[in-house]
Chains A and B, each alone.
Chain A
Amino acid sequence: MSRFVPLYLRSRRVPAAVAASAGAIAAVAAAWAGMTKDAQVNTGLTVLTAALAAVPFAPTLAGNDAALEKTAALPWPPRRVLHLVACGVLVAGLLIAARLVGTDFGPEKALVRNAAGLIGLIGLGTALAGARHAWQVPLAWAAVQCLLQVPGGPGWRQVALWMIQPPENRIGAITAGAFLAAGVIGYALRVGPPVSAAEASLEQ
Chain B
Amino acid sequence: MTRPLRIELLRSNAKGLALLLFLITALGVGAMYQFWWGQWLRFGYSQSTYMFVLMPLALAGGVVLGRRDRRTRARELMDSTGRPRWQRSLPAMAALGIGVAATHLLVGALGAVLTAGVVDGYLGARGFVAPLVDALVLVGAGWLGIAVGRRWGSPLLPPALAAATLVVQFAVQSMPAKSPLHHLDLMINNPPDAAWETVSTTALLARTALAAGFIAAGLLFAVGTSWASRTGAFGALAAGLAGLMFISAPGSAGQWQIDRAAQALVCADGTPQVCLTAVHAHMLKDVAPQARRALAALAKLPNAPTRAVEVRLPHLGRNDSEQWQLVKPEPGTVQFTLEIDPDTGKDPDVTDSIVMGGGTYWSGCGAPDDIAMSVSGAWLLGTDMVRMYFPPFGYLVTDHHEQEIRDALAALRALPEQEQLRRVTALRDAAARCEQELMPILTGEGEGR
Is B20 a contact of A143 with CB atoms below 8 Å?
Answer: no
> Cβ of B174 < 8 Å from any Cβ of A?
yes
Tell me whether A48 and B20 are in contact in the complex, defined as CB-CB below 8 angstroms, given that A35-B174, A55-B159, A148-B31 are known contacts: no
- Distance from B58 Cβ to chain A, minimum over Cβ atoms (Å): 12
In the complex, which residue of chain B has the Cβ closest to the Cβ of A141?
Answer: B24
Is A28 a contact of B171 with CB atoms below 8 Å?
Answer: yes
> Cβ of B80 < 8 Å from any Cβ of A?
no
> Cβ of A82 < 8 Å from any Cβ of B?
no
| Number of residues of chain B lying within 8 A (CB) of chain A | 35
Residues of chain B within 8 A (CB-CB) of A55 are 159-160, 162-163
Is A146 a contact of B170 with CB atoms below 8 Å?
Answer: yes
Is A32 a contact of B171 with CB atoms below 8 Å?
Answer: yes
Residues of chain B within 8 A (CB-CB) of A31 are 171
Flag B168-179 by CB within 8 Å of A: 1 or 0 each. Answer: 001101110000
> Cβ of B166 < 8 Å from any Cβ of A?
yes
Tell me whether A144 and B167 are in contact in the complex, defined as CB-CB below 8 angstroms, given that A13-B156, A17-B156 are known contacts: no
Is B156 a contact of A16 with CB atoms below 8 Å?
Answer: yes
Chain A, range 184-204, C-beta contacts under 8 Å to B: 202-204
Is B166 a contact of A143 with CB atoms below 8 Å?
Answer: yes
In the complex, which residue of chain A has the Cβ closest to the Cβ of B52?
Answer: A147
Tell me whether A147 and B50 are in contact in the complex, defined as CB-CB below 8 angstroms, given that A136-B20, A160-B31 are known contacts: yes
In the complex, which residue of chain B has the Cβ closest to the Cβ of A157?
Answer: B31
Residues of chain B within 8 A (CB-CB) of A144 are 24, 27-28, 50, 53
**In the bound complex, how far is the Cα of B177 from the Cα of A82, in angstroms?**
45
**In the bound complex, how far is the Cα of B162 from the Cα of A59, in angstroms?**
14
- Distance from A25 Cβ to chain B, minimum over Cβ atoms (Å): 10
Chain A, range 39-57, C-beta contacts under 8 Å to B: 42, 44-45, 48-49, 51-52, 55-56
**In the bound complex, how far is the Cα of B171 from the Cα of A30, in angstroms?**
11
> Cβ of B333 < 8 Å from any Cβ of A?
no
> Cβ of A58 < 8 Å from any Cβ of B?
yes
Is B171 a contact of A139 with CB atoms below 8 Å?
Answer: no
Residues of chain B within 8 A (CB-CB) of A137 are 20
Residues of chain B within 8 A (CB-CB) of A58 are 159
The 8 Å CB contact of A135, one of B32, B72, B159, B174, is: B159
Chain B, range 370-405, C-beta contacts under 8 Å to A: none
- Distance from B47 Cβ to chain A, minimum over Cβ atoms (Å): 12
Is B71 a contact of A203 with CB atoms below 8 Å?
Answer: yes
Residues of chain A within 8 A (CB-CB) of B166 are 48, 51-52, 139, 143, 146
Chain B, range 44-83, C-beta contacts under 8 Å to A: 49-50, 52-53, 56-57, 60, 64, 71-72
> Cβ of A181 < 8 Å from any Cβ of B?
no
- Distance from B109 Cβ to chain A, minimum over Cβ atoms (Å): 22
**In the bound complex, how far is the Cα of B71 from the Cα of A135, in angstroms?**
19
Tell me whether A24 and B52 are in contact in the complex, defined as CB-CB below 8 angstroms, given that A35-B175, A42-B174, A147-B187 are known contacts: no
Residues of chain B within 8 A (CB-CB) of A56 are 156, 159-160
Tell me whether A147 and B159 are in contact in the complex, defined as CB-CB below 8 angstroms, given that A48-B166, A52-B167 are known contacts: no
- Distance from A131 Cβ to chain B, minimum over Cβ atoms (Å): 8
- Distance from B45 Cβ to chain A, minimum over Cβ atoms (Å): 12
> Cβ of A20 < 8 Å from any Cβ of B?
yes
The 8 Å CB contact of B71, one of A36, A45, A202, is: A202
The 8 Å CB contact of B170, one of A13, A45, A204, is: A45
**In the bound complex, how far is the Cα of B171 from the Cα of A146, in angstroms?**
12
Is B57 a contact of A140 with CB atoms below 8 Å?
Answer: yes
**Which 9 A-B residue pairs are closest in the complex by CB-CB distance?**
A55-B159, A135-B159, A59-B155, A52-B163, A143-B53, A204-B155, A203-B71, A48-B167, A55-B163
Point out residues on B near A: beta carbons under 8 Å.
16, 20, 24, 27-28, 31-32, 49-50, 52-53, 56-57, 60, 64, 71-72, 153-156, 158-160, 162-164, 166-167, 170-171, 173-175, 187
